[in-house]
Structure 1
Amino acid sequence: MNINWRGVYPAVTTQYNDDFSINFAATQAMVDSLIKEGVDGIIALGTVGENCSHTREEKQAVLKAIIDVVAGRVPVISGVAETTTQFAIEYSQMCEEIGIDGLMVLPGMVYRSTEAEAIHHYQQIARNCQLPIMIYNNPVTYGVDVSIEGMKVLANEANIVSIKEATEDTRRISELYAAFGDRFIVFGGVDDIALESLMLGCTGWISGLTNVFPQESVAIFKLAEQGRYQEALEIWRWFLPLLRLDTIPTLVQCIKFCEQLAGRGSEVTRAPRMPLTGEERLRVERLFNEAMATRIDLSKFNLD
């Protein structure tokens, strides 16, 4: 498959009303704003989109709403986070039917797979749908690492075209390129090592905090792509305290709270996720306010 996925792909939030029902209009408005601010693709119903907090019918409705508002301007990739391989196959086939551009596939939820089980899971999804697939390799969160040897097995599946590399070990990026050349499109998947990942050759960045500061994220990517690392560092060092929020268990609440502070969305999440309270809430608000007070004028970088 000749798939040209590159650039900044925010893992978008799903917006809710105060009664926890899905706010489709707010979700569409948020996605539309991100595209107008320069992002290169949309990851729908990933971890940040609270995939596992929705029924199948709700997931389908969210994806259709996002497809409608995107209207072909950028690729839309759906997270696949199901409890069994068969459910993941059925979900992937549904995504294909409604016009999703690709899949970001997680290992089976709840059960902690062995590497062999995870490889089988990915193989079965690839063999039962035609969509291009990104493997989401996040052993820190999901407890299973698909190694270089494992990726050699998955390289035999033509529609497995990409990997979201989230081991937090930047050496893995170089190992992927050494083993596979350009066989896989490699995305950096950890916000607080994104610049290092781009410097090592990643052609994309899947990000949570891009929901809050999309223009800064896009600027970092463009500067890195042009080899203007010293300029990228100025934005990066400003952004880093917030980017670290993407690597903690309450990342969804942190990102949605920052969206609310920025006037870009609501902090409402579905249980078991609960709103931030106490010192943690004050810390996130302090980080956001400090970022706003020291925000960099991007016009000086001449990126247009």
Structure 2
Amino acid sequence: MWSGVMPAVTTKFGEEAGLDRAENERCFAIQMDAGCDGLIVCGSLGEGPMLTLAEKLELLGIAKSTAKGKPVLMTVAAASTAESCDIARAAAKSGADGLMIVPSLVYFTDRRETLDTLRAVVEAGDLPAMIYSNRVAYKVDVTPDMMEDLAPDERFVAIKESSDDIRRTTEIINRLGDRYDVFTGVDNLAFEALAVGAVGWVAGLVVAFPRETVAIYRLMKDGRADEALGIYRWFRPLLDLDVSRYLVQNVKLAEVHAIQSNDRVRLPRQPLQGAERQRVEKVIADALATRPQLPSFA
């Protein structure tokens, strides 16, 4: 159902900490103009847990207006199942094309709790859903056997695979074939995941470097892995910035330099400063200075 590059977009704030509608529109449009295949709002990179429901729905509306008919997914990530269900229902009423569901944001659910929560949320929203399996950040692992248990419900259509174990993509495909659209959710494992059968990439650094991200994906799908690998090797130091406790600050700082945006974040996060800011800015500057010329692709 879904495939390609789907940015997990950042959320742009104004100087008074509210949403900056115009800047969100501009940044979302950059993704679409580069050839991305959809948008995912209010995720980890989008500071979703720091947003009110009204803000989430406003961002959904902005994304829908700029997505050129491509799918826009709302991330559902809340402390309680009841709140997650409320978000899913509201997103459906506001025109979301699908949901990306985090099983549990704070409490580390066991197998039964994880499955029951996913089923409750997809029932509440009654939309196609991507299961977000991220045992590193959220300590809840949606395993292939759990995916098999959920497979009879056709509303579960995709997996965002973020276990940080490249073997997992093959394990899912070996066990379930093409039942799910498997997306890689770890930027610095994207080439590897696409090489073993992932059909999509929920990307982070794409918000600053969309054309390079799309080029890697399209070249891989065209069977031009050597060309994709050359770009990926250049990209890797940047992609590593997505795998960090400071991923939001890192990626927004990349947006400052690459697309002339800003790095405002919502408290308790604060923009990088001092030696860490200098380190990240050097990674970005080095990449910009050696930015590759992209080949043509379909």
Q: TM tier, shorter chain?
A: over 0.9
How much has 1:127 moved relative to structure 2?
A: 2.1
8 Å Cα contact 2:104-2:140 kept in structure 1: no
Q: Which residue in the other structure is 1:150 paired with?
A: 146
8 Å Cα contact 1:126-1:157 kept in structure 2: no
Q: Which residue in the other structure is 1:267 paired with?
A: 263
Q: Which residue in the other structure is 1:303 paired with?
A: 297
Tell me the alpha carbon deviations over residues 144-175 of structure 1, each in whole angstroms, 9 at most, x when there is no partner: 11112111111122201110000011111111
Structural mapping, 1:154-165, within 5 Å: 154-165=150-161
Distance 1:6 1:295 in 2: 26
1:49 aligns with 2:46: yes
Q: Which residue in the other structure is 2:100 paired with?
A: 104
Tell me the alpha carbon deviations over residues 3-43 of structure 1, each in whole angstroms, 9 at most, x when there is no partner: 2x111111101101122111011001110111011111111
Distance 1:53 1:229 in 2: 39
1:291 aligns with 2:291: no
Distance 2:124 2:151 in 1: 16
1:78 aligns with 2:74: yes
Query: Percent identity, aligned pairs only?
Result: 39
Structural mapping, 1:89-238, within 5 Å: 89-238=85-234
Stretches of structure 1 that go unaligned for 5 or more consecutive residues are none
8 Å Cα contact 2:40-2:73 kept in structure 1: yes
In structure 1, the residue corresponding to 2:283 is in which secondary structure? helix
2:55 to 32, 55, 58: 58
1:23 aligns with 2:20: yes
Distance 1:45 1:121 in 2: 19
1:8 to 2, 5, 14: 5
Q: Which residue in the other structure is 2:276 paired with?
A: 280
Stretches of structure 2 that go unaligned for 5 or more consecutive residues are none
Distance 2:220 2:82 in 1: 40
Distance 1:264 1:63 in 2: 23
Structural mapping, 1:236-247, within 5 Å: 236-247=232-243
TM-score, with structure 1 as normaliser: 0.96
Distance 2:280 2:258 in 1: 12
TM-score, with structure 2 as normaliser: 0.97
How much has 1:129 moved relative to structure 2?
A: 2.6
Structural mapping, 1:240-255, within 5 Å: 240-255=236-251
How much has 1:71 moved relative to structure 2?
A: 4.3
In structure 2, the residue corresponding to 1:128 is in which secondary structure? helix
1:40 aligns with 2:37: yes
Distance 2:202 2:237 in 1: 18
8 Å Cα contact 1:161-1:183 kept in structure 2: yes
8 Å Cα contact 2:250-2:280 kept in structure 1: yes
Distance 2:63 2:229 in 1: 33
Q: Please, what is the CA RMSD of the aligned residues?
A: 1.1
8 Å Cα contact 2:208-2:259 kept in structure 1: no
How much has 1:121 moved relative to structure 2?
A: 0.6
In structure 2, the residue corresponding to 1:183 is in which secondary structure? coil
8 Å Cα contact 1:212-1:264 kept in structure 2: no
In structure 2, the residue corresponding to 1:9 is in which secondary structure? strand
Aligned residues: 298
